[in-house]
Amino acid sequence: MEIPDVAASKEAEASIDLLAIVLDTNPSQQIVRQNPQNLTQILEAVIAFGNAHLMQKAQNKLAVLSCSHYTTEFLFPLPGRHVELRQIDGQYEAFSLVEKTVKQQLGSILMNAPRLSAPCESLLAGSMSMALCYISRLQRNVPAGVKMHSRILVLTGSNECASQYMTYMNVFFTAQKLGIVVDTCALDKTLSLLQQGCDITNGQFLKVNQLDGLLQYLLWVFLPSPQMRHKLVLPPTPKVDYRASCFCHRELIDIGYVCSVCLSVFCKYSPICTTCHTIFKTPGPLPVKPKKKKKTDKQI
């Protein structure tokens, strides 16, 4: 009975868990605008959560990225910067290093930020792609025989923006291909795109109802590794709607027409594709009425 246990524990020792946290630090988030103190609280929770992850196993790795309104920067680790390390209050040096670097770096990002005149979107998809670059570099350099399980946790209170749709999809498919789990912790609103991403990569989506208990949510839901999660009772995943919306009216449709050249989706038959201007061969049973043609011309 004990032999498989030993084998399992050896395997666990030989594997590295990498957690990349993408933290939305955009000041135009609703929760930050209501109460700027919230950002401090979120930051404290993230640092504690990151340290909890490092504490689980000596081989575990952590990366923290900040996605603010003007730039995406790594908060931890920072190659090349030497922070003096001394034990404070008996805390393990690695933990105080995380706290110190993250706070210092975020401070300098916020100090250098240009003034914000109007609320603007956070480029979360881009930040996630940067996290993927970092993860893929570490995965390339893993010594033979060692397995690396990576995941990305996104913490955000922003709205999502349709303009990033393509980048989001590219990020999700890349993550799926590399076996990286995408988890999302929505602090304010339900985000349907990130929800799709979690579903594609077998990650966990969670909308936090009470910001006060953020650390508890994080520790309960996101700290266990994805391999362990199926043994736990976690919040059920809501059903994700994968229906397409047509390019002409932006309505969710059940049956649509897809252009064979550019794959645009339309809800009605039209003789010319409005995206790539391809002229279609008219199928037999569908006579084209001139009225419809007018309609599509307007949309061009």
Judged by CB under 8 A, the chain residues 158 through 177 that form the site for another protein are: 161-167, 169-174, 177
- CB under 8 A: which stretch of 34-42, 44-52, 84-92, 267-275 binds another protein? 267-275
Establish if 298 lies at the interface with another protein (CB under 8 A): no
Residues 254, 261 contacting (CB under 8 angstroms): no
221 makes contact with another protein (CB under 8 A): no
Does 116 participate in binding another protein (rule CB under 8 A)? no
Asked whether position 152 contacts another protein by CB under 8 A, the answer is no
15 versus 245: smaller Cβ distance to another protein: 245
Q: Using the rule CB under 8 A, is 265 a contact of another protein?
A: yes
- Say how far apart CA 71 and CA 113 lie, in whole Å: 9
The answer to whether residue 92 forms part of the interface with another protein (CB under 8 A) is: no
Does 81 help bind another protein (rule: CB under 8 A)? yes
**Neighbouring C-alpha atoms within 13 Å toward the C-beta of 179:** 9
Q: Choose which of 40, 91, 216, 260 interacts with another protein (CB under 8 A).
A: 260
Candidates 15, 28, 129, 202: give the one binding another protein (CB under 8 A). 129
Per-residue three-class SS string for 67-83: ECCCCEEEEECCCCCCC
Position 110: which residue type? L
Q: What is the spatial distance between Cα 29 and Cα 31, in angstroms, rounded to a whole number? A: 6
Cα–Cα distances in angstroms (integers) from residue 129 to residues 38, 70, 150, 175, 177, in the given order: 26, 16, 14, 9, 14
Taking the least distance from each CB to another protein, the nearer of 30 and 167 is: 167
**Whole-angstrom distance, CA of residue 23 vs CA of residue 183:** 12
Q: Which of residues 270-289 bind another protein (CB under 8 A)?
A: 270, 273, 275-281, 283
Interaction of residue 134 with another protein, rule CB under 8 A: yes
